[in-house]
Structure 1
């Protein structure tokens, strides 16, 4: 580039979890996933609403965009074609070799078409495709704010790569250098998704349900199966195609084999009740995932020599694996960004273009930032479509009032400030409840979240009092880590402890979220316990509510008692 781009639009689009991020002169103006504005969960649509909000926030138009950073590079798909054809020499994989070559070539062409489409939408900008794992790495590392760290990305597939290990240096001018890479068909995300689908849940959406179910099973029953199917190697792991046939990127191909079915169980029908065999299969899958992730973390520690670890990619949302790595003491500290999945790569893609340019400007507004989307403070609220609702203004007493209602047993939706980045509600688009009320977990699952009864609920806790209840030993601001619990937690808040003895906690510091810190402090004054149940403001199958209208619909169509929407108490 002759001149470094000053306006860079990062995009995740046309696949799943569409999102957009905007960098102007190195500063992150904002980031938001399209589903929060369109109400279509995991949407693959072009993120038109997200882009419109970002440009309006910066007082810019599409013509002002200098570069569009896209989170996939088409040429890397093509590189898999000759490797796929070589699978004809493998007895276990030859039946899919040609289909695999066709599938990767087809996706390469499709990705190139998408880039041309973006060029038409931004005719004055240069559209720059970024390797997918590089985008993940930069998102994870830059968000950490650290000077140096090992960076481990584990997902289902990024062009050809499924796992990369890198060194990250200088998060203000973030750069990563890959040391090792594992390519498909060795994919931990592929295996977890395949078993999720086998158990009748949506692959790419409900892996968390399988992780929750795992706590109720015995991994010993299928431990040897997964050890054979996903063996570790000195530098990582591989997948046995006799159990999980190689990926084709074409529809109509099963992800589990007849041998897997014979040694495990038949595919579960959604109407079929859950039995011990399903619980045990989930438990063994989760145990193997944790084993492989620990192996990769140890490898990253040895290869980089760094004492801190950043983890990105879809498998980074497996909070139990992250918790195991922390507990093992492999690193002094572990960090997972608020948006570790594909949506967050919009940030990393924009960072890649910025750092590759001749710009000397450091990046701003990324380190330890998670509230990056639109805010609706001060907006007029028309309750006409919801005639049964009443509202009252709370003003400066909102935090104290909310804590009082929670202490008295209400389940309340909270819509406050800017939308969180990533898959977790972090106190701005949350459903809150007291962990002291008996039967609340059952009520939340049955009448509010409308989901499986075995799903646990995460606690949020004042950061300065976290060690009274949790054994993690480090901050967990983005609800991405499972922690052991103390005896005090078991005695005072047993409902936040899952069947496996862990809790996926969020530590809340005053500097991170002053309002939520004030609510927790006021709740602790009333009850003696600085802990609340926190789950996302949505019901099963819907995205987290990003707009006031979505939040009001959630109140109307669920068992919520009330909604605190930008300082207004709305009851029904």
Structure 2
């Protein structure tokens, strides 16, 4: 009997990605940017799909189902609401443009989904409600029997925030029961992106920079403004149109009103100095985001009665907010999947369609993060990089790497399968000792080429995590900001941000054996089982998914060396 093949796609918006299920088993997932080099690409994921099909030994003709992570017709639900804005003076100017833009994008999304049938002539095409794909991925990846599922993003068709109950009556067969939804214009992701752009960074890419800047500001300056601009309501929250202009699905329309600018500061140019006003604005935005996320978590706890929660959507990448939810004690455990943003919906879409049409359970999704291509036998040809030199690694590679790190070197690591999601988790990482004076400045100035206030995340063996971090649960995907202990402040201040937190990754022997060995060896050399772990890329470029991308990173940055599948390369 031929295999039952489901291809999940995130495409045509941003963060294109693809996932493949064969008889319910996740054989692979990768974001297109990791193979194409175009960060946050919206293009159809040609490279990702080609790799998935080749890896599985199948052709496009053998794909039974294609699961697409948007449902175009649901955009039309925003049209009546948009027309209703004609009666409000604050929203009247944009009402017709908003209605037209949602109708246009909805019909375009329908055509794009239909167009997939030309690529997969024997497959049924399934457009899915965007938040359903987020929910399915977040819950299936947790592996839990039951949990609340809270998704918060910028926009999925008309929805922006949804709450569901996830149950798994038998292994590999998760079921979701939707409970509550907020629709646009009540969008926390829209608000955060708007202020990110106002502060001079790229919306949809550099919200993390604003989150880092927030630790250096005083939220009190704009606290009252944000309380009015993002009021908390009985059903969740809203956006005040006096400050946030209603969304029009076109990049030519600004998101903030003249009143917002008048009450805060002029829009900052990307190369302009960062002032106290910018820091304070970032701090107030982040504080309000944390307050709203915590309120939504309270609603999730109250309305579901669940003791665990799964978080998804782009706002779930705000690790400080996630840390606040954990600290609140509302739930015994909080889970964020490795790819909580749109890319991960490729997995959620494939899983949802498989469960509708096949009796076999899902496998390979729960707890999985190393899902992309690997290159163990890639021939090493340095002709295109004449300044690079390959060396033989003597002895145990983990021990050798730990020794170089203990001696102060900054090393890129390329091993195994590409990680899912926005964080490097030890397979496409830049590693450094947190014990070396000036290491953060050197990483920002000469390796990553990014703002000096941005912090670097620590990775630690799970067995020793409690010695340095107060999170109280495992954090394998570097998605949660944790408080730190006095020992951390004394020994590893380089990884403690200005807000006294660190976005920690806990590493187990089973989860990543090689990185666990490196951390253990580093502890033998230094007494500290903690390393700085940042992604193998430079600012503005995606995480390196291929050997050539990694060699480019070494050749064009201040890295001391690259350990590429056991081969030591220096510049």
TM above 0.5, yes or no, is yes
TM-score range, shorter chain: over 0.9
SS at match of 1:154: strand
Find out whether 1:54 has 2:52 as its counterpart: yes
Per the TM alignment, residue 271 of structure 1 is displaced from its structure 2 partner at its CA by: 2.7
Structure 1, 492-501 or 246-255: larger mean CA deviation: 246-255
1:27-426 equivalences in 2 (<5 Å) = 27-170=25-168, 172-357=172-357, 359-394=358-393, 397-426=396-425
Distance 2:48 2:395 in 1: 31
CA distance in 1, matches of 2:242, 2:417: 47
Could you say what secondary structure the match of 2:396 adopts? Answer: helix
Residues 198 and 268 in structure 2, CA contact (< 8 A), matched pair in contact too? yes
Aligned to 2:443: 444
1:542 deviates by 0.1
Q: Is the 8 A contact 1:99 1:250 kept in 2?
A: no
CA distance in 1, matches of 2:232, 2:567: 54
Corresponding residue for residue 457 of structure 1: 456
Tell which deviates more after alignment, 251-260 or 313-322.
251-260
| Structure-2 separation of matches of 1:206 and 1:139 | 24
Taking the aligned partners of 2:421 and 2:300, their CA distance within structure 1 comes to 25
Is the 2:394–2:400 contact (alpha carbons within 8 Å) kept by the matching residues of 1? Answer: no
Structural mapping, 1:491-530, within 5 Å: 491-530=490-529
Partner of 1:469: 468
Deviations along 1:197-225, one digit per CA (max 9) or x if unpaired, are 00010000000000000000000000000
Unaligned runs of 5+ in 2: none
Structure 1 residues 126 and 4: alpha-carbon distance in aligned structure 2, compared to 1, 3 A threshold: farther
Q: Following the alignment from structure 1 to structure 2, what is the Cα–Cα distance between the partners of residues 398 and 172? A: 37
CA distance in 2, matches of 1:373, 1:122: 22
Separation in 2, partners of 1:514, 1:252: 48
The CA RMSD measured in Å over matched residues stands at 1.1
The normalised TM-score by structure 1 is: 0.98
Equivalent residue number for residue 430 of structure 1: 429
How many residues get paired? 569
Q: Give the alignment's TM-score, normalised by structure 2.
A: 0.99
Q: Which runs of 5+ in 1 are unaligned?
A: none
Give the ranges of 4+ consecutive aligned residues of structure 1 lying more than 4 Å apart after TM superposition. Answer: none
1:17 equivalent to 2:21? Answer no
TM superposition shift of 1:91? 2.0
Asked whether the 8 Å contact 1:5–1:354 carries over to 2, the reply is no
Match of 1:485 in 2: 484
CA distance in 1, matches of 2:392, 2:183: 55
